[in-house]
Amino acid sequence: MKRALFPGSFDPITLGHYDIIKRGVKLFDEVVVAIGINADKKYMFSIEERKSFIEKSFANEPKVKVTTYEGLTVDFCKEINAKFILRGLRNPADFEFEKAIAHTNRKLSKIETVFLLTASKTSYISSSIVRDVIRNNGDYSVLVPSSVTVTPK
C-alpha cells in the first residue's frame, strides 16, 4: 500500500490544504492527514475542532484518514508505515523551507517527500491569513471548506 502522511497544524484547514489532499488521494492508496501537537504553540481552534473540520470535509473519501501525533514526523511515518510525506507548495519561500525539512527527513530515514504545487486559485491562502480574517470578523468562508465553522465567543 502506498500511504502518504500529510502533516500540519491545520489551524484551520484551508481550501489549499483541501486541494492538496484531494489531489493526493489520486496518487496514493491512502492519505493520512496528521495534525501535529505542539504544546508550545497557541492555536485558535482546539485539536478536536481541527480534527472534526478535516473529518467532515472528507467524510465521503475512504482513502483519507485523520489523526494526531507528537514528536518527529519521520518517527510517526515509521509508526504508521507511511513511505511518503505529502506537502503543498504555494511559493518559492515555501519551497526553500520545505526543501530543508525534506533533506533532513531523508537523512533521518528513507522517507520520500512528494511536493504538489497549490492550485493558482488557492495559492494565496494560508491558515494565518484565515485566522486574521476570523479575528477581524471577515468572511472566512471563501477560504476554507464548509466544515470550518466559528463559534462566537
Active site residues: 17, 41, 90, 127
CA 106 to chain centre: 20
**CA-based angle 40:43:47, to the nearest 5?**
100
Check residue 119 and report its DSSP letter. P
Residue 10 region, left (φ>0) first, then alpha (ψ -120 to 50), else beta? Answer: left
Q: What are φ and ψ of residue 30, in 5° steps?
A: -150, 140
Pairing verdict, β 84-89 and 112-117: parallel
Alpha carbons 124 and 37: distance in angstroms, whole number? 25
Alpha carbons 17 and 31: distance in angstroms, whole number? 12
Grid coordinates representing 113 are 517527500
